[in-house]
Amino acid sequence: MEQREGRILRQGNQNKMIQIYRYVTEGSFDAYMWQTLETKAKFIHQVMTGDTHIRHIEDIDSRALTYAEVKAIASGNPKVIEKASVDAEVMRLNRLHSQHSETQYRIRSDLRKLIEKIPLSKQHIENLKLDMAQRINTHGDAFQIVLEKSVVKDRAIAGELLARIARRASGAQDQFDIGSFAGFELSVRTSLWGRVEFVLKGKNHYSLDATETSLGTVRSLEYFVQNMEDRLAHKQNELADSEKKCGELETKIGQPFEHEAKLQSFAVRQKELEDALDITKNQAANSLEAEVTEQAVEIEKEAETESVQTTVRQPRVKTSKVTAKVRVALAH
C-alpha cells in the first residue's frame, strides 16, 4: 500500500489534487490480502508505541478505511465487519482495564510507603525540636569549632582544616568523628555517590556536602544551624501533605473498573461472533465430508468387484448396504 501510494505522493508530482481509490472484490482473495496487512499493521503499531497503557484519540472524521474494515468488506459477511469493530473496542477496554489495575497497584504501594513514612516524619520533627533547643550560638565573634581536639575561633583557619580533613576522608568507607560544632558532634564520611560529607549529630543526623572553597564549608555549617526553623517548617509541611495524600489514597483503594460491564458485554458478543465465524469448524466439516465420500467410493469399488462372482440380485443387496453405510457415516 505504501509503495503504491508513494508513486502518487512522491516528490515531483505536479498535480495539485489527487484521488486514491482502493478497489476490493467481494468474496475474492482480497480478504486474505487485507487480513495479512491487518496482522502486519497490528504488530508494527505495538512495536512503535511500546506502551500499551497510553490513551489514544481516534480521528472520527477520517475517511480512510482500516485494513480490518476493507477485509470485512471483501469477505461479504456483515458479521466480519461487526467483529472488527467489537475486537477494537475489546482491545481498547482491556487497555483501560490494565491501566486501572496498575493504578490500583500503584495506589496501594504509595499508601504503604506513606504509612511507613508518617511515623518517621513525626519522630524526625520531634527530634529536630530537641536539637534546636540544644543549639549553641555561633554568630559573629561567638564562632567556635572543635576540630581534632583543637578549639578554633577563626573561620578562615577552620575552613582550611576542614578542607584538609575532607581530602583525607575522600574515598574512605568509614565515618569518623572529627570534633564538634554549635552543640553537635561533627563527623566526616564519603557518600555512596563519592562526595565528602560533614555530619552534624544530635537527636537527628544532618549531612552537608563539603564545598570547593574552605570558607564555603564553614558558611554551610553555620547557615544550617542558624536556620533550623526553616527546616522544621519544611518538615511540618511535608508531614501535612503526606497525611492529606494518605487520606485521599485510602478513598481510592478498591474502586471498581468503571467500564467493567461494558467490557463484559463486548467480550460476550466477541465470543458469539467468533463462534458464528468459526472457519476452523467449517473446514473440519468439509474435510470430514470429503473423507466420508472417499470411503463410500472405496466401498462401491469393493461391491463392484464382488458382483463379478455373484448373481445380479446379490450386488443390489450389497449396494443397499453400502448406501446405508454412507448415510450413517455422513450422519456422524
Three-state secondary-structure class, residue 170: coil
Q: Which of 39-53, 127-141, 318-332 has the lowest mean pLDDT?
A: 318-332
Indicate if the pLDDT at residue 316 is higher than 90.
no
C-alpha cell recorded at residue 217: 564549608
192 touches 162 (CB < 8 A): no
Rounded to whole angstroms, the Cα distance separating 283 from 293 reads: 15
Three-state secondary-structure class, residue 202: coil
- Is 0.75 surpassed by the pTM of this model? no
Q: Would you state the pLDDT for residue 83?
A: 81
pLDDT digits (tens, 9 = 90+) for 248-269: 999 999 899 999 999 999 999 9
Helices 260-276 and 78-133, packing angle to 10 deg: 150
Mean pLDDT score, 240-251: 93
The residue with cell 467449517 is 282
Which residues on adjacent β-strands are paired with residue 145? 152, 181
Indicate if the pLDDT at residue 133 is higher than 50.
yes
Indicate if the pLDDT at residue 53 is higher than 60.
no
C-alpha cell recorded at residue 330: 455422513
pLDDT digits (tens, 9 = 90+) for 255-305: 999 999 999 999 999 898 888 876 445 445 555 555 656 666 666 666 555
Q: Which residue has the higher pLDDT, 55 or 196?
A: 196
Rounded to whole angstroms, the Cα distance separating 265 from 307 reads: 62
Q: Would you state the pLDDT for residue 71?
A: 66
